[in-house]
Structure 1
Amino acid sequence: MKKLIMAFMLILLVLGGMIPEINAYADYDTKITQIDGKYTISINYIFDKLGAKVSLENSTYTITKGKNIIILNVGSNYAIVNQEEVEMDIPVTYSEVSMKFIEKYDTLFGNNVIWDEKSHMVSIMKTEAPVKSNVSFGMVTDIGGLGDKYYNDWAWSGLIKAGKELGSEPLVIQSRSQEDYLINMIKMTRKADLTIGIGFLMENAMKAAANLYQDKKFGIIDTVIDAPNVMSITYKENEGSFLVGVIAGMTTKTNTVGFIGGMDIPIIKEYEIGFRAGVASVNPDAKVLISYTGDFANPELGWEAALSQHNQKADVIYHASGACGIGIIWAADQYDFWAIGMDSDQAIFSEKNKVLCSMVKRVDVATHYLARSLAEGTFRGGYEKCMGLLEDGVGYSDYGRNVSDKAAEVAEKYKVKIIKGEIIVPSTEEELSTFKPVKLK
């Protein structure tokens, strides 16, 4: 997998008709202009980053890379793409071209440009046209299988995307119990070059399978296996949790919020610590209640823990407790407080739209990364890839549209500072004890 050639760039929105600026996290600066609510970006800047050549002849821009040619005429709503006329959303100016046009046609140049109008972020992933090969890859699901609208579904969507890009059909074997993990991995190794396990509960099974089939490659998500044929994907849960902590701290009316974890283990503590740091950064007077259910699979325990915290005036409760969180969301529906989901957008579990937002872990990004690394020859056994905000591995989602504009704006500013390394989010009690909350101006 080729590395990002340019880090995320933030567009700082300013008042009225003023021009927002992009500050690239490299030695580059450029501007985006807004025209009738649509965005344009510097022609020379963006295509330089795409690795294409730009030449200006009179009022015509010619952009070339390899055999691909795009001709842009100043003032025209049409462009010529490899001799075919295509319509753009806004006319080309002497220095700028539609961001939407670039997003649509960038694959001609072997890149992936993503423009997110909601977050006002631009990212550019340097890629190469995939080599059509006979590599095969598949995943073994955790309990719950496909259709869980959660971890397994997200992981599968990443493999489907990789399969389309690589011309390979992804495989899947579904587990009904933890006892199925090892046998299912063995089955997958007989069909695929790369076997991916979804979740840290598969660690022991994958260790055994990787030892048995040392000529095969394996990928594990949410834990680390030190083996020469296993690549591990982990997340900076503390960074995503920091953002929802910011939102919780700005949303609470009682100045009391809660965190409910499943097992009191290091990976879940990262959710808790990051959340507490985020709350403290925007609302140092807020009290954070902490509970652990001791379980990841019992919604009733989540319900009881949430009700206990709500009775102590918590009006926003963030959980990292697996299926226990379903009970927390049900309690939020009945007792009218906000719940914050974990790992995927959990608004679907609330009948009364009481999920404020959800901290998401992009499992689809992880599985896609693993499959692509296999096909591109960059797979690294014995290596841990940790995905945070910079890698788009974590973040938050707001399917229910409950996050206020102000909270979203502040969370975005913190996100940028974390990506730039100006804020280091703590992940342990020790780090939290020395963390100095950063209050933005």
Structure 2
Amino acid sequence: MNSADLGRRVGVPSTALFTDQYELTMVQAALKAGTADRRSVFEAFTRRLPEGRRYGVVAGIGRVLDAVENFHFDDEMLTFLREQNVVDGPTLAWLADYRFSGDIWGYPEGEVYFPGSPILRVEGSFAECVLLETVFLSILNHDSAIAAAASRMSAAAGGRGLIEMGARRTHELSAVASARAAYIGGFNTTSDLAAGFRYNIPTVGTSAHAFTLLHDTERDAFRAQVDSLGRGTTLLVDTYDVTEAVRTAVEVAGTELGAVRIDSGDLLLVAHRVRQQLDELGATETKIVVTSDLDEYAIASLAAAPVDAYGVGTQLVTGSGQPTCSMVYKLVARAGSADPAEPLRPVAKKSLGAKSSVGGRKWAARRLDEHGVAEAEVIGTGAVPAELADRQLLVELVRGGEVIAREPLDAARERHIAARAGLPMSAVQLSRGEPVIPTEYM
């Protein structure tokens, strides 16, 4: 496997300041108190799924591994922290030498998760683990939200093509992460070249309405595009009159025209009319791509339409109304010292209401019914029952500070397809409901 198979991790800046100030001030206070080196276990999980969602999708693990490798404080950062009086001198000296040296286990990317699932388990000293909280949650909350929306759209599309095209609807760096997460969730291609460059996601794109408006006639625009990109290109046919545009497109490109794109109007009605017209003109192999503020519900409503692919932007990169997964990162166990022989003791927040958590270093497994379909997410802190030993979900990601679990993005994509297929059929229903399987604690 060459480096390109895993994506290009070039030009990645330090992630050390992608954090909240209180992470550093906690380290300062713990160093002064002599507790910073206590062996600790943190876990990332969510207490609930976003409203109406039946399952979550783990995405961002590869980016978490990048964040671990690039989490270090350079001289310029340390100068900033000193000038802003964020932390004191001894803490700055500690930060200057910081490199994560612990272990990380987690759900593999593309896997599904449920409330309470220990998606990430981070083990090491308190100080080195707590520093990673904000950047880990930033990545996991964003990427998993996008992947979940993509998965719902993929299920609604029923095997038809999906194009991620939301770069202009979000922050430029979020756009790249969104394209990556969408690919894991089931999208086939992206319009974002930075995502294609960094993660080897297939890229697509032809022209916008501006290109048609640039030319004196629609025919001139189509001819220019076909002359440049070939007959297999996709022509945008709704700038003026769709019926006339389809006729012109076939006249210019011939029956070998690759596709037409429709970006406005009653997509269900227009798609049927365009399909009939293309067939009558002999362009029976020309495909139809639809865009225009689609989400999973709009995609599902077009199931009966002769559509070959959907282009999705705004609703995808904003999580289709659920832009975060509300994951948290909590200390669940700690020892009284750095001694690896000292036993860990469970700790947990015991707040009133919904913010309490379950202490202890956890394992997770998915129990299947007699048909091989998932029936429960089982989480425990003791010995793993023999019947669940081969169904454990956590895999080793980082050992002694070294990343050991990099994989091609396609592996995560394929894993998600398999994981979703292993859930009860109601998982892909778009109607609101509870998590499709319960979480059980042992």
TM-score normalised according to structure 2 size = 0.26
Higher RCO, 1 or 2 (CA under 8 Å, sep at least 6)?
A: 2
TM-score normalised according to structure 1 size = 0.26
Could you say which structure has the higher strand fraction? Answer: 1
Could you say which structure has the higher helix fraction? Answer: 2
